[in-house]
Amino acid sequence: MLRYLVSVFFLAGMVLTPALRAQSFNYWTRNFNEESSLASGAVVGGGAGPSAIYYNPAAIGENNFSQLSIHASLFSMNLANLRNALGNGVDLNSIRLVIEPRFISYMIKPHEKWNLEFAFLNNENYFLTLNTAVDMPMDLLRSLPGEERYFARFQYYDRYRDDWVGIGGSYAFSSRLRFGLTLMVPVRQLDYNYVLDIKAIPLPDTTGGNDMPYYVASYDETDYVHFNNYRLLLKGGLLYKKKSWSIGLSITSPSINVYSDGKRVAREKSRSNIMGPDTVRLPDYTLTDYAEKKEMKADFKSPFSIAVGATVHLSTEHKQTLYFTSEFFAGIKPYRIVSAHENSWTAEGSEWLTFVNGGKSLVNVAVGYNIQLKENVRLMGGFRTDFNSRKNMDLSPFEDSKKIKGLTMDIYRLSGGVIFTFKGQDFIVGLQYSVGREINQEQFANLTEPVEYNEDLHLPLQGDPHYNMDVLINNLNFYFGATFNFNTNK
């Protein structure tokens, strides 16, 4: 047993090494690439396999033998298209190809009534990068005749990774009723950068040679956040089983902040040479600040949730099984995900280096199906919703500008695959397709209808953002898994 535990800890180090990811604000993004994933996670009522430590720790005791599970995502392709994101006709597109591990666990049965499991799992991987520029002639500056060169550069970089390390156990009160408890350590890593840099540059014929002064009108906005946040949470579960059905209950506590490192936050806004109403030049300004390490705080909360599920065997030989799970997530009041004291010259009291987060309450549902095709071949499939917790959320009393910008989309996920049993060991091949679409969203910025100074929004060199951004997300994940069973004649 010792050599298997050593192998698990070694492989876990590989899991936790890859680069950071960014948050998507969806709670059911996870995909552990084993039989529970094929059923789309609808396994709180039983049938979770090695991922019971996450879905319902009471189900850890469903197997009466030791298991080592290694599950890897072979290939993932993620496509994002944002139409009219920066103005009419200015679209943003992103494509991501990735290969990385996902889930490793070791389950043992030290006592007739007890089962224990150790696991390293990836709860979420998210990465979105968007870059473009707008470059065109335009008569924009009121104080200069003729056209200027209007140049705007947009950059969005968002990486988030949420890895969990945990130990769980289950206890059998009877042959029908089990209780389980899991202690998890989520490790959340965020790397976020947002840049909008706009310039109106006079052309030589605009300035009339040397007859008029030459200057560049500009506006710059930059946000940067980076940190690792270590937390604690508990999962408790019950599982009641009859011959042809079982029901389960799983409760997840809000996470508790323990420690943060790698902390850095920066923010800057500046404008220069902008004419306001009646061609009165507005004051130039540059507001910029930076904090790191002990100077700043990071706190990445997760909600209380309660899940219920049922598993029903449709035949006496258990050759067909139906799964259902629903989970309620409580809301999270707006809070400071990052905060730091600003320098005395950066508008004291403005919380300049504060970024906020929060989440609405929501309910997700999942259904799954399992059919035994042959003695050693099972086909599984499932569907689940993955609603966004920050969609249309009011972050009051904080300003909306202090949020970490991201896509607030509802995602729908369809999964399926085949489980082969060979010499008592399980090998899993499957895929998951995810799709999300939101129409009539607010643009990041309007760079195709700019004015020198937008009096309503107090924004230089931009127009009023329209609500005509359409977002389409398509993700396709291929994965492979293996579960090695010990001390069994399976």
What pLDDT band is residue 451 in, cutting at 50, 70 and 90?
A: very high
Q: Domains in the chain, start-ordered, CATH in brackets?
A: 2-486 (2.40.160.60)
- Dump pLDDT digits (tens) for 148-190: 999 999 999 999 999 999 999 999 999 899 999 999 999 999 9
- Percent of the chain scored above 90 by pLDDT? 59
**pLDDT at residue 11 in the model:** 36
Tell whether the model's pLDDT for residue 74 goes beyond 70: no
Q: Cis (ω within 30 of 0) for the bond into 334?
A: no
User: Taking all residues of the chain, what is their mean pLDDT, rounded to a whole number?
Assistant: 86
Distance, CA of 76 to CA of 475 (rounded, Å): 7
Query: Do 30 and 325 form a contact (C-beta atoms < 8 A)?
Result: no
Query: Do 80 and 471 form a contact (C-beta atoms < 8 A)?
Result: yes
Q: 398 in helix, strand or coil? A: coil
Average pLDDT, stretch 228-237?
Answer: 97
Query: Do 301 and 188 form a contact (C-beta atoms < 8 A)?
Result: no
> Nearest CA to 416 among 389, 382, 390?
382
> Nearest CA to 366 among 31, 116, 18?
31
Q: 399 in helix, strand or coil? A: coil
Range from 48-52, 408-412, 483-487 carrying the lowest mean pLDDT: 483-487
Concatenating the DSSP letter of every residue in 145-206 gives: -S-EEEEEEEEEEEEEEEEEEEEEEEEESSSSEEEEEEEEEEEEEEEEEEEEEEEEEE-HHH
- Percent of the chain scored above 70 by pLDDT? 89
Distance, CA of 370 to CA of 359 (rounded, Å): 34
pTM for the predicted model, two decimal places: 0.87
Range from 20-29, 314-323, 378-387 carrying the lowest mean pLDDT: 20-29
Average pLDDT, stretch 249-258?
Answer: 97
What pLDDT band is residue 21 in, cutting at 50, 70 and 90?
A: very low
Sign of the dihedral through C-alpha 398, 404, 408, 412: negative
Query: Do 460 and 150 form a contact (C-beta atoms < 8 A)?
Result: no
- Dump pLDDT digits (tens) for 378-413: 999 999 999 999 988 899 898 888 888 888 889 999
- Dump pLDDT digits (tens) for 326-364: 999 999 999 999 999 877 776 656 789 999 999 999 999
From start to end of 305-344, where are the E strands?
Answer: 305-313, 320-329, 332-340
Query: Do 312 and 321 form a contact (C-beta atoms < 8 A)?
Result: yes
**pLDDT at residue 131 in the model:** 93
What pLDDT band is residue 101 in, cutting at 50, 70 and 90?
A: low
Distance, CA of 387 to CA of 176 (rounded, Å): 34
- Dump pLDDT digits (tens) for 188-217: 999 999 999 999 998 876 555 555 556 899
The residue behind tokens 């029908």 is 176
The residue behind tokens 């009219």 is 84
Average pLDDT, stretch 316-331?
Answer: 92
Average pLDDT, stretch 475-487?
Answer: 77
Tokens of 480: 């492979």
**pLDDT at residue 416 in the model:** 93
Distance, CA of 382 to CA of 370 (rounded, Å): 9
**pLDDT at residue 211 in the model:** 54
The residue behind tokens 């323990």 is 258
**pLDDT at residue 6 in the model:** 35
Tell whether the model's pLDDT for residue 454 goes beyond 80: yes
Tell whether the model's pLDDT for residue 96 goes beyond 60: yes
**pLDDT at residue 228 in the model:** 96
Give phi and psi for 294, each to the nearest 5. -70, -15
